[in-house]
Structure 1
Amino acid sequence: MMDAGIPTGDHAQLVEWARRQQQLLTSISDFAASITRIRDYSDALQELVSRARLLIQSDMVYISLNGTDGSGYTSIVATDGVWNEEYRTLSMPLGAGVLGRVAKFGSAAQSADYGADSALVHDPNVDRIVAAEGVRAILGAPMRSEGQVIGALMAANRYPGSFNTEQFFIAQALANLAGVAIENSARLDALGAQITQLRLSEAEAREGLEAEQRLARIDEVLLSVMGRGGGFTELGEGMSRVMGREVQILDLTVRHDMRNAVAKIGDNERPLVVLSARADEPMTSTRGDGTPFTVMAATQDEAPVGAVMVDGEVDAQDEAILSRCARVLGVFLSAQNRELDAIVRRRRELIAQILAAGAGGLNIAVTNQLRELGIAEGEPFRIVVVDGSESSLGDFQHRIDLDFGLSLLYGEFDGQLVSIMPERAFARIREMFEARGARGWGGMLVGHSPALHMLEIVPEEYSLVLRVLDAARHSGHSRTLVSLDTYGAIGAFLTKVTIEPTKRAIVDTLGPLLDYDEEHGTDLADTASAYLDSAHSVAKTATMLHVHANTVRQRLDRLAKLLGDDWAEGQRGLDHHILLAANRLVGPYRGH
C-alpha cells in the first residue's frame, strides 16, 4: 500500500502536476455550486459519488462519515456502483483497512489488492463483506471540514491493480469538494462578505476576482456544452461570450464533430500552434494583410491537438482566458474522441454479431440498431470490405467520417475495414472511386457484394467478398472497386455453385500444376492465367507479368510437361481458363 501525495521529480513535472490539478478543480466549479444549492443532504452526497465514479473511472465510489459520538467507527453514507446492502451500510473501525486508515489519519492511501495486503489492519467481518462485494483494489482520500477529518471518499475496483496519480488527484479534489458541500451557509455568507470587502477595498483584488470568474465561466461553458451534447459551434460561441470577441476553434485531430463546422487551419496558423504548444503560452503574429492574430494551442500529452484563435493582440488578462479556453478545448476533444471511440467499438460489435449470426437469426435489439442506420430487411444494402495499407485505410476512414459522420456502420476486422451500408450510401462510395478524375488510393482494394435484401445471408456473402478481394490482390487487379462482376461469367458461376465440388474440380484438373508451384515456389499458375487472358500472346503475357518473353516461353514449356501439349487449346483450354480463375476466388490451394 502507498500514500498519495505530490509527485517527486524535476520542476517541469511539478508544474505539470499543478496545472492538471487546477484544470480539474476549475472544471468542477459549477458542479460545486450546484451541490451547495441542493437542500437535501443525502441528495448532494449521492450526486457527488455518481459524478466521482465517472471522473475516476472506477467500478464504485462511496463516501463515509466519521462518528461524532466517540464510537471509533466511520460509516458509509452514500454509494454508486456498490451491489450488496451490507457494503452500502458498512461501518469500519477507525484505523482498519484502507477506509479506516484514511478516515483516522487524514492521508490519501490505496491498496492494489485488499485481501492480500498484509500492511493493512484487517477486521474479519469487514473482510467478509469486502470479499462478498468482489472488491480488490481500493483508493481513499480524506474529507475535511474546518480543518478536521470528517470522513473519506473511496473508489474501488473489482480487479487488482494500483490507481494512477491522476486518479489520486481527482479523488482528493472531489473529497475536498465533499467537505465544502458539508459546510454550512453561514460560512459561505462570511466568505461572500470577505469577497465583497476585497472588491471595495482593493482594485487589484477586484480585477483578479473578475478574471477568476471569467475563467470559471469558461469551465461552465465546457460543462454546459458537454451536458447538452453540443459541438464546436456551441463551444466557440460560449468562449466568444466570455472573451468579448470572436473565438475560432481549430481541430487537429483526425476525427471531426459532424454536427458542427470547425475553422480550418492555414499556413499562417500552423507554425504558431506548434510554437504555442512548445512554449505553453499564446503566440501572436500577423497575416499577409498586416492584421494581427493570436493563437493558443490545446495539447494532450504535450502534443497539439487543436487551438483557439482570436483576431488582434491580447493583454495579460485575455492571455489567461485564452489559455483556459485552450485547456477546455483539449478536454472537449479528449471527451469527444472517447465518445467516438465508444461508438466505434459498439458498432464493431454490432457487425461482429451480424457476421456470426446463427440459425436463429438476429435478435430484435440488433435489428432495431440496424434500422436506425438505414439497414432493414427488404431494403437494398451492401457489404463493403476495404483492404490496403494502414495509411490508406486511415485516409479512407477519414474521408467516410467527413462524408457520413456517425451514420455509416463500419469497423476494423483483421486489418480491413468492413461496412454494411444502405444502397444509397454505396452509390456515393462507388461515385467516389469511379468518377472522372477520382483520386488514386495507392494499392487499396474495395470489395463489395451485390445489392442484398436479407440479413441472414450476410455471413455467406461476406465470405464471398473476402474471396473476391483475395483473388484481386493475387492477380494484381488494376481497379480499386472489385466484386464478382469483375470476374464476368466465372464470378456469376461461383455464386451458384457449392465451393467444395469446385475445389475438387480444381484439384483434379490443375493438381499437377498447383502442386509444382507449391513445391518449387514458382508462379506457373499465374503465367497460365495471363497466357489465356491474353489470347495466347507471348508478348502480352510478358508485359502483364513484367518478365522477358523468353521467360514466358520457358514457363510455357514447363506447363506443357505438367498439363499436356494441348493444355491451352479447345475445350481443355476453356476448362483450364475457368478453373484457374475459380482457384483465385475459392481460396488457397492445399494440395492432395
Structure 2
Amino acid sequence: MTGTGLSMADHDLQFFELLARDAPVPRYEDVVQQAQRDGVDRSTLNRIMMAKRLALELREVVGRRDRRRVELAALVDTARDLAGASDLQAGLRLVVRRAQLLLALDVAFVSLVDDTVGDSYVASAVGAAGTLTDGFRLPWRNGLVVPAEGGQPISWTADYLTDECLERHPITDSLIRGEGLCAVLSVALTVDGRHLGDLHVGHRQIRHFTPDEVASLRLLADLATTAMDRIRVLSDTSADLKQAQQEAAQARAELSVVREAGSLQPALTQLVLDGGGLDDIVTRTVRSLGGALHIRDRAGDVLAAVGDLPTPDERELARARLRAYTTNWPGRLTTGSWVFPLAARTDDLGYVLFHPEETFDHERVAALPGVAQTTAMLLLVQNIGAQDPSGDQLLEGLLGPLPGPDADGKQGQPIPVELDRPHVVVVARPEGVASPQMIERAVSVAHGLDGMKAMRGDHAVMSLPGEDPGAAAREVARELGGLLGLPVTAGGAGPVRTTDLVRRAYQEALRCVGALVALDATGRAVCSQDLGFLGLLVADGHDVPGFINRVLGPVLTYDAHRFTNLAETLEVYFDSGGSRARAAEMLHVHPNTVSRRLDRITQLLGRDWQQPDRAMDTQLALRLHRVRDLLSQEWDDPRWGPGSGEKPIPSAWPTGTVPSATAGHVPRKRG
C-alpha cells in the first residue's frame, strides 16, 4: 500500500492502518511525504493532510480514553485499598503513592490542617529529596500553593518560582528550591464543608497540567477524604468501644467495692464484739479500702495507724473536721487525704484520717463514716479519752451552778487543789446564728485535749494551759471564728494555779465580754489588762498596783533609781493643760528642762503616751499613785503609834509592789 501511484483513497486507508496498529506519530508524516513523491495534485495533497490531522486527533482521543480507563481502574483499586485501611497514616501513605503513579510525577504529599496553631503540616510524602519530610510545618492552612486571590479548592502552577499569581512565603519558597520543583498541583481535602488538608503533587520540570490530570487528582482527593472520614469514624468508634469496655470494667470494680464497703461496717462491728482493738480495725479497713489509715485523738496523737500519711495543715484539718461533722460526710484535704470525726453524743473523741490510693472513689469515701462509728464505739468501750469528758465535768463543777429560778444562791466553795501548771480561763461568744451543738463541736475541735470546756447558755468557757489570758482569748476567737465563719467576742482572765480561783477567773472573763458588748466592740478579744482603767472595774480584786505598774512602771522605776522627778513633771504637765512653759513655771525650772524630761518620758512610755486613751490611763494612774503615797505616809505617821487608840484605815493594796516615786522628789509648789 506504500507503493507509487496510489490514489487518495489508498493514502486514507494507510492512516486507518496506522491507527489500528497504534503506530508512532512520525509514521503519519511519512504517508504525507509519500503522497508528495507520488505527485498528487495540490487539492489531493490538502485532503491527505486533513486526513492526517483527523487521524492524529482520533489517535489522541483514543489514547486519552485509554489513559482515562487506566486511571479509573487505578482509582478503583485505590478506593478498594483505602476501604481496607484502618490506620490514618497507612491510608495517607497509600494516597500519596497512588497520586505519584497516577500522574507520573516526581513528588506527592498530603498536608493536614492544625487548628490549634492555625497552620498545616506534612502528614505523608513520597519522592522527596530531603527537605519535604513528615511533620514539616507549612505557614498556611491551605498547604503549599496559595493563589493570591485565595479560597480556591484547586490550584496549580506550571513554574512555581516564576508564577507571579501566587502568594509568597520564605518557607514555601525555600521548600520548592530545596526539592527542585517547578510544576505543583494542589487539591483541597474537605468533608461536610470542613477543610481537613490538601493533596499536593509536584514535578521537577515545567509542566502544564491537563484537565484530565486535574480531574483525576480531584477524584483521588475525594477518595482520600472519604477514607479519612471513615477512618476517623472508625477510630472514634473504636475509642468509644474501648471507653465503654473500660467503664464496664470500672462498673464491675465499683460494684465489687460497693459490696465490700457495704460489708465493712458489719465486719468491723463483729471484730469489736470478738475482742478486736484499734489496730485490728485499722488493718481490716485498709485491707478492704487500700491506702493508709490513721486513728487520732483530739490532740492529733496517733492511736493506731497503717501506712504513712502526708502531714496536713492544722487549720485546714480543723475546718474539715467541723465541716464533716456538720454534713456527716468526710472532708477532703488539699493533701488528698479524707477526714471524718469520731463522735459520741456531744463528745469529740478524735478523728479518722485516710489517704487513698489512686483508685479511690466515691464508694470508698462512703465507707469512712461506718469505720468512724465503729471506732468511736470501741473508744467508748475502752474508755479511751475518758479524761476529757470528766475534765469538762470538773470545769462545770468549778464554774458553779447555772443561774436560774431554782438556784438558791448557796454554793459550796471548791476545795483548793493545785493545778499541774497555770491555766487561763477564756469565755467565747459567737456573734451570729449557730446551734449550741455546732458551737460545742467547734470548741472541742479548737482547744484539743490540753484544756477543759463547758457550755454556758450562749457562750463557751475554756480552761487552757498558759499564763497570758489576752493571747489565749485572741487565739480562741481566731480559731473558733474561722471554724464557725462568725465573729467571736472573747474575754480572758487569769492565770490561776488552784481550782478554787477558776470561778472568779470565769466571772472576770465574762465581765470582759460584757464590757466589749457595752462598748460596741463585739468580735474583739481582750483581758482586763487590755481594757486600761476599765480593767479595774471588770478585774477580780481591782488590781490597782498592777494597773499603776502597767501604765507608769518604767517612769516610777526610773525615778526611784535615778532620784529624778519625771512622775511629778508628768502630773504637772497634765495639770497645765499640756503647756510646757506653764509646767516649767509651776515647777520653777527652765522650759528646756521640762522638754528634756518629757523626751525621757517618751523614751520610757513610748511615742503614743499622749494619745487620748493612754493619756486618760496615765492621769488616772498618777492620781492613784499619789493617793497610795498619801495613805502610806499616814500609816507610817508616829502619831498613830501604840496607845493612840485610833488607827487610820489601811490601804487596800500592799506597799512595795510599785516603786515609790516620793524618794528624791522636789516638793512641788504651785503658783
Q: What TM-score comes out, normalization by structure 1 length?
A: 0.30
Higher relative contact order (CA 8 A, sep 6+): 1
Q: What TM-score comes out, normalization by structure 2 length?
A: 0.28
